[in-house]
Structure 1
């Protein structure tokens, strides 16, 4: 039962990151009209660095796909981890309204990583 629940949650988590990565490339979801000014400045700064957003998008897409596939879930979680740290810091310092969703995503990622901790053991020897 636990494996089925983890698969469904990993599927939803992976799909969210795939969608986020695809949106960074194709920009099919409009930005909110009431976005705080400091968040607009942050987005503009990220866009000024021309290679940053495409890199994040590709990592989100690949990491999202890998999280969905049980055999590669641990690798996908490692790829998404630094992006998740950035998401949390962005919502803590610039857009607190999105913090609840970011915390839920961080909890899911933590669950995935804890469930795969045996695969990470070699990294810490």
Structure 2
């Protein structure tokens, strides 16, 4: 049975991990509120990191809610995603989205990312 946990091995933890995504030509999937950058990794699973700034969501409560919703969605969809390192970048106004709107947005971005990764190989 597949595990739906979100353990340490599924996170981008160090600046080197983030730099590996930002350097080169990452696969980019975006909307008006979020951008996902992804690069292939040599691991048997995808990893996730966040770059949600005060500019995109003023209050810490908003930034934490955004990260919590995306983390939960990633946790449930991790087995359907390719083996890539993903950085989620928040754009201006993402902090104003309600939780259901944010969930729907992220739900739409995962299949687009999967499709883009397939076509770039």
Please confirm whether the aligned pair reaches a TM-score higher than 0.5, indicating the same fold: no
Larger Rg: 1
TM-score after normalising by structure 2: 0.24
Structure having greater relative contact order (Cα 8 Å, sep ≥ 6): 2
TM-score after normalising by structure 1: 0.24
Q: Counting helix residues as a fraction of each chain, which structure ranks higher?
A: 1
